[in-house]
Structure 1
């Protein structure tokens, strides 16, 4: 993929985000696009968003379950930035009009207390860098039409990140084993999913080590204070106007997200679940 194509594709995603109008998958026109191509577009898109005044406050991991990696034919997760403009507090209300085709996932979230610079970071080193463990919700969204995403498409599109909501304050690191944290997820009072921390690479802390190492290969360190979204503990649940989502975590407590009015969004089947 040429530099000109990278810039053009990043600009197309930038415009789709601004206008809330999805675009065709890049992999329709070029099925050979791979992970490296997706990350090249992602970096250019982040540059455009940061130039507008946004900033990176952490990272999200996707494809952290074996089932999702099998679906995309890969043996590794993917990642994207968490932008300051997309972070909400527990109990916040969001509007469907801010998204294109949103879905909600419950996740375990870490806040780093010390920097990590890979490659070569071990899980135990990552564990030592974590300062806080929190309950979180991620709104995943796709600027690609009908969630018809290939791997390069979702990576380019900030790993399909839409927004995040965080409960706080969290637990001090070391006060619990993140692998064993159970979770019950409900929409409008009805349980729609359950999960446990081990769904994320077998140990959510392993996600931190993985991120530190893959970013380190690109010369990007993880910084103290940054958020790490460790991946969905269940299949993503479609989001519509008037919905209320609640995730109840063992040890971490509960987190709530309300959805205001606005246009409805489809609750039909989609390829992108459990990011």
Structure 2
């Protein structure tokens, strides 16, 4: 990547950051600033993440079981426990996704020999129901260039986690049921609906394929593994309640 191209992508990151901070979304990045490859989109993500300082984890997922996963950093400042009240002008889009996330108990540093599935899953300390909040500097991310949407932190805007569930290793996730309710009304009701299919494969994938970018996964980081419910929009005063049949419940409120 040339120096000029790096400067263009840094400018793209700054435009998206300003749009988020000021709640003044843009329709699209200027044509010359739009990422044209996944690597360029990741460059913008990483530039934006630096502005939010410490990384608290990673979101990783795939739109289908056959697709190559994509991932994005989750700033530590955006991570909060269940029952949190989210307020302020940065909550504009208020997209919601019910997910299952894992808290790492051991480091998975980069290494020449790929981690096996068993090694990667053994690094997990706990399993949790979570809500990922989607936000964007783009007014309508679905109408923007796909690489622009990915560059914009892959729409990551927040992460609220519920209590740990013991015994997750024995859960048949193909039969796991989930509901997502907004203001007491169930908006999504699905079973075995993670878009990646076997979503546990995302942990070793991130440890191996993502290592050059993550610098290795670290104890205390969260890994959230993709949507079970699609994108559901809330309002400025919504109560949100996600319930997994086995893994548990997580709530939040916008105010």
TM-score range, shorter chain: 0.7 to 0.9
Contact 1:108 1:197 in 2 (8 A): no
Residues 1-275 of structure 1 aligned to structure 2 (within 5 Å): 2-26=5-29, 28-29=31-32, 33-50=36-53, 55-62=54-61, 64-66=62-64, 75-95=67-87, 97-117=89-109, 120-147=114-141, 148-196=143-191, 199-218=194-213, 220-260=215-255
Would the alpha carbon gap of residues 18 and 98 (structure 1) be closer, same or farther in structure 2, given more than 3 Å must change?
A: closer
Offset of residue 43 of structure 1: 1.4
Q: Is the partner of 2:41 in helix, strand or coil? A: helix
Q: Is the partner of 1:88 in helix, strand or coil? A: strand
Offset of residue 129 of structure 1: 1.5
Q: Quick one: distance in 1 between partners of 2:177 and 2:237?
A: 27
Q: Quick one: distance in 2 between partners of 1:161 and 1:115?
A: 24
Q: Quick one: distance in 1 between partners of 2:179 and 2:221?
A: 26
Contact 1:27 1:33 in 2 (8 A): no
Offset of residue 32 of structure 1: 6.8
Contact 1:100 1:143 in 2 (8 A): no
Alignment gaps of 5+ in structure 2: none
Offset of residue 242 of structure 1: 2.2
The two structures, once aligned, show a CA RMSD in angstroms of 2.4
Q: Quick one: distance in 2 between partners of 1:256 and 1:3?
A: 40
Contact 2:8 2:32 in 1 (8 A): no
Would the alpha carbon gap of residues 22 and 39 (structure 1) be closer, same or farther in structure 2, given more than 3 Å must change?
A: same
Aligned residues: 249
Q: TM-score w.r.t. structure 2 length? A: 0.87
Offset of residue 15 of structure 1: 1.4
Runs of 4+ deviating beyond 6 Å: none
